[in-house]
Structure 1
Amino acid sequence: MAKLYSSVDLLRTPLYNLIIQQKAKLTEFSGWEMPVQFGGLKLEHQAVRTDVGVFDISHMGKFVLQGTQVISSLQSLVPSDLERLQRGQAQYTVLLNSQGGIIDDIIIYNQGKTETGKEKVVIIVNAGTTQKDKIWFLEHLDKKTITFKDLSQEKVLIAIQGPQSILKLQPLVKEDLSQLKFFGHLEGTVLGKSAFIARTGYTGEDGFEVMVDPETGQKLWQSLCQTGVTPCGLGARDTLRLEAAMSLYGQDIGDGTTPLEAGLAWLVHLDSKGEFIGRRILEQQKAQRVNHRLVGLQMEGRHIARHGYPVFSDGNKVGEVTSGTLSPTLEKAIALAYVPRALSKVGSTLEIEVRGKLYPTKVVKKPFYRSLNRPYN
């Protein structure tokens, strides 16, 4: 992931100086200068799988919407039924264009009604699509009834991930985190300051994401690291999410792929909601079935399939790898790729071209790894 880059004009999170002090290796990511690793990718990956790690994810887009009928207004922009969300619940979903393509994958947190009776919603989006998403929301939401705040560069967002995450975070939080269900969230108190706390993450493990002001964020980062929590970079974040078969926007999903093609059919609630952008295309795809699908692949040897490597069947190119790595947990080379529907069945044998040679691979069930510690409730 690391590459040569110029730090000129790159954005930096409020944790940048602390990360520099910890001698992190830096890289450019979506216009931000971010840590790719601290003590080493495998060490950081293993810490999250067996103990706990902490990530600076302040580069993510952070929006707050307040007003009347916020949830019902968002209904027309996503294929998921948001009306079933209760206060304190969240929904992972996708913004769609008119062709059913994915503008971005996002999480919508329903915070219920404020003291003034207005609905309040927090939305976390990808760093590289923050401006695009902001424009999309402002174009499609009623500015007279809904206020839109972009807190992307005003707040720190920290992810504490791993089976021991609650033990490390709880001493710093006033509220009882054990009462927070998976994909639950609350307005709480961290180190004596107000904070947004969600039991969500991008690693496939149990964990929390905490949004606070910069000063509190710096203190939280230091406090966690002082108690033995392993600081982690984007390198481990990528291998962790790929083992859990979580899509990366811009590689595994994008404007040209629909949620049905991307294996995200569970986000599409055609039967329980009305009109939304892209619905007609998804209805057609559901009726006729998609032409190609995103599948999980496992190499039979240790040759690693990387992003962009071609996939073959009987000598013919049939697809392309979107993400690939050597899984630190499984110690096997794994990948995601779009292939024709006829070749997408688990057990199908394909080949991937690695440095000019073809190597066998097999379609396997996703996710590649499923944590026994994650609270699926």
Structure 2
Amino acid sequence: MASELRVGVIGVGMMGADHAERLVTRTAGARLVAVSDPDTARAAELASRYDGVRSVGDPLELIADDGVDAVVIASPGFVHEEQVLACIEHRTYALCEKPLTMDAESSLRIVEAEAAAGPPLVQVGFMRRFDPEYAAMKAMLDSGQLGRTLLLHNTHRNKAVPESFRSEMIVRDSLVHEVDVARFLFGEEITEITVLAPAPTGVAAEGVLDPQVALFRMAGGGMATTEVFVNCQVGYEVRCEAVAERGTVVAGRNSTGLYSTVADDHGGYWGGQVPPDFRARFARAYDLEVQAWVDASRRGEVVGPSTWDGYAATAVCTAGMESLATGQPVKVQLAERTALLDGARR
């Protein structure tokens, strides 16, 4: 595609608005042309910030628009299936934010529809694969210099979430990132998940189990642990340590940047800043992710996490929600990956 990629954004909440601004100001080869949101006033206000951007009331109309080449889907997960299937039907490239859908069955329907329709069109928004530190960790582990990877230890902390963010959402909307990280770094599937919860923090909403601890068993025998704490009150902390036969490697440790000493009424302390939210922590990853998606779409290709990756992550989280409810390990049930699906991309 010689000309700019004409992009629409569906869903203009925090994530969608961030992507819209990124497309306009920091992405080469793309032009934001349309936005859509059920809150039409919010969509119209966002469109008015940028020259030549239309507000379209119906997201399916935006997907079918001949003036739109590709779509960023940042809408709530419960409408993803309909919107992604529309992209496949209209041969419109899509970057779909996680989760791909709300359950394994609907995610598998997307995998099958994409495989049946022809070359892949959909990239799933697991941006950590594009984060420079996570990408460097993957390269180091794959090089073999540390030997076989044995364990991963993940930490995922948010400063706070709304009261509407319930226990199951911690699995489906937060832990899903670590699910993809484990699959990405090990290069294999998760076969079993256990999700446990200690006594909850006093600042969590009534009935919400926060923090949670998850244990993944990998197909090759490795294991991964994850702490997810979405009301930690401090800031946004995400890191991963890989333990291999001949060494370890850590991504996300807050040991770079500004070093400061601070005096207060209790004496002195030292440290740097903890990012306030995911947009600050993974700003570079999002930039690289969207640029890679735009470049690939202009070439008629897809890079990054596939619909299969989105399906596998959703299947693990579906099992994780069952484990959270029962306190027992749950086997992950995945469809057989047929030759048709393998003809797409991993």
Higher RCO, Cα 8 Å, sep 6+: 2
The alignment's TM-score, normalised by the length of structure 1, stands at 0.29
Higher helix proportion: 2
The alignment's TM-score, normalised by the length of structure 2, stands at 0.31
